[in-house]
Amino acid sequence: MIVLGLSGALKHDPSAALLVDGEIVAAAEEERFTRDKHAKDCPPYESAKFCMEYAGVNPEQVDYVAFPFAPISIFSPARWHYAKRYWYAPDRALDALFNGNRRYREHKKNIHQLGNRLGINWQKTQFVPVEHHLSHASSAYHLSGFEGKCAILGVDGKGEYATTFFGYGENGEIHKIKEFYDPDSLGGLYGAITEYLGFEMLDGEYKVMGMAPYGDASKYDFSRLIRAQGDGFAVDTQLVNTVGLRRYKDAQGKGHYFSQKLVDWLGPPRVGDIADDPYIHYAASMQQLFETWVLKLVETHLGDVLAETGALAFAGGGALNVKLNQRLLDRHDIKQLFVQPASGDSGTALGAATYVAHQKGEHIQPMRHVYLGPNYSNENCEIALLEFQQSQDVQFSWKKMSDPVGETAKVLAEGHPIAWFHGRMEFGPRALGGRSIIGCPNAPGIADRINQQIKFRERWRPFCPSMLDTLAADILQSDHPAPYMTITFEVAQSWRERIPEVVHEDGTARAQVVSKDTSPRYYALLETMQELTGNGVLLNTSLNRRGEPMVCSPQDALNMFFGSDLAYLVLEDWMVTKTST
């Protein structure tokens, strides 16, 4: 059975994923091909085409196209809740009641048009809609590899109407326990404060999370943003999660997801790249509020399941909050935590596909790695180098390395950062040794150098460590699996001085524990670094510049390389330098 999952239901982060006989064969985000971050308002055309070509699948062979957006019945509480809470914007309230599946009908039409472009035969291929939060739930549960029953958590901005999902999985079936609906959204609340703090909603939430450790949450009480209501919560839409006339408008007339009342309370929204008072404290307060409410709701709605199973599968944009995930793992009743590495909306292509495949009788294979995108041979890289040399007026040289791992490690040990391009591209937002900028984490100042001269990003943003699996328990003081940079851990005091460039302000690190079977060359590089420096750890950040998607092709890597102050680029077995060798 062949299932093609397509995402982009909420007009951002379109992607495609292909399952063949219950196993992920390929998955990729559209932005990596179009080079437009988040690929807003774009269909997942290039990503779908890649998935089918990589798998050798003819479009007419696709049995099902799964899409993470479904019609919601007028008898569901979702549309009535939305209409009641948005009474102050009657156009939206009435639309939810009388035309509440309008967006679904638009999506279905658009996907059929996309299928025609791809060559899908709709006489043979069935279109199957899946509720957005069921797609998130499936992406975590069905790919977790958990045996038996487990709790499922979904925290997002919103799908059709739902914003937060609590349930459990058992024998392949997903059971809802509780959902909350827009505008009562923890993800939306975090996004509203993200906008207030000067970042783009649906893009800058991780920057708020990175800023938070520099602040003091006790300085400002954010509790008025949200209140308890029954066994759930209600967001104060006088302040955040606003629509219509309640929205704050900036000098350019752009409306925001927070109100003038919030500005009257907290002062003018932050601008620029400086993390200063009071905004660092606001970030800390928002992070604390988010963690507090998620943990409270988990206890209320999943406490019994967790006590029984000890396992939690987590997805949705909120699952990318690695500090929250650390707090979840600290709970006494969570022994196993699987966070879908593509937790955001791009991962719903996987979730919709796995959900449909299971419903049609397939046994879903667990996720083993995220190296699911395109790969390029040494010949592909050489052609790209020759074409770049002919078309660009830049001076550089390149050579084919006889020992790619050893020669790369030598440059790293000398204190130089390197652009590292190898194997298949990662699916999801984290660079995991396929498309990475890497450096030696005990080279003084290398993090600031990468931030200022290469990534052109805020100086307070942290970097992550990739480490050998043989060292992880000693460094992280935990033996919990951490292959995808989805959880922060307290770094052991004895290691903080050894790898200072990858330890954040609060003493934590968002770690990638590397195994030999899923990433053999990257593992060999870490082993060689251990031999040369005594530390089998690398600083690792995504291979891109600020505001750009992660690199996909050799051409992308060369463009990024020559648009930065990097001196070394490894393209498979080729070493590229800006100075003669």
Which residues are the active-site residues? 12
Q: Provide the sign of the torsion angle of the four alpha carbons 534, 535, 541, 543, taken in this order.
A: positive
The closest of 409, 442, 419, 403 to 541, measured between CA atoms, is 419
The closest of 363, 357, 365, 325 to 341, measured between CA atoms, is 325
For residue 378, the surrounding DSSP H or E stretch is: helix 378-391
Q: How many CB atoms lie within 10 A of CB 565?
A: 13
Identity of the residue numbered 321: N
Three-state secondary structure of 487-544: CEEECCHHHHCCCHHHCCCCCEEECEEECCCCCHHHHHHHHHHHHHHCCCEEEEEECC
Tokens 């943990």 belong to which residue?
Answer: 295
The closest of 473, 467, 445 to 529, measured between CA atoms, is 467
The closest of 509, 269, 559, 210 to 387, measured between CA atoms, is 559
Q: 34, exposed or middle or buried, with CB in 10 Å at 0-12, 13-18, 19+?
A: middle
Q: How many residues does the chain have?
A: 581
Q: Are 555 and 576 in contact (CB under 8 A)?
A: no
The rounded distance, in Å, linking the Cα atoms of 207 and 425 is: 23
SS3 573: coil
